[in-house]
Amino acid sequence: MTSPSPSTPDDDPMPVAPPQPDFEMCCGNGCDPCIFDLHDLEMDKYRQALRAWRARHPQAPSEAA
């Protein structure tokens, strides 16, 4: 029986931030949720995933904000 090997960057890549929507994409009608609200939610998920990834890869450089 073999023990699991630690994750490597190839099989556990650093999360990528979601793209910021262009200001022109907002219709300005006060939608709920607005595309910028949705982006904020996606950024929260990204930050959470990035914190978890950094905990698994403490030796990785801090390239992302």
In a domain, 42, yes or no: yes
CA distance linking residue 23 with residue 43, whole number of Å: 17
In a domain, 9, yes or no: no
Domain count, the chain: 1
The mean pLDDT of 12-33, rounded to a whole number, is 95
- Domain holding 38, by residue range, is 29-56
41 pLDDT higher than 70: yes
CA distance linking residue 34 with residue 64, whole number of Å: 25
48 pLDDT higher than 80: yes
pTM: 0.74
Residue 36: Cβ within 10 Å count: 14
Cis before 33? omega within 30: yes
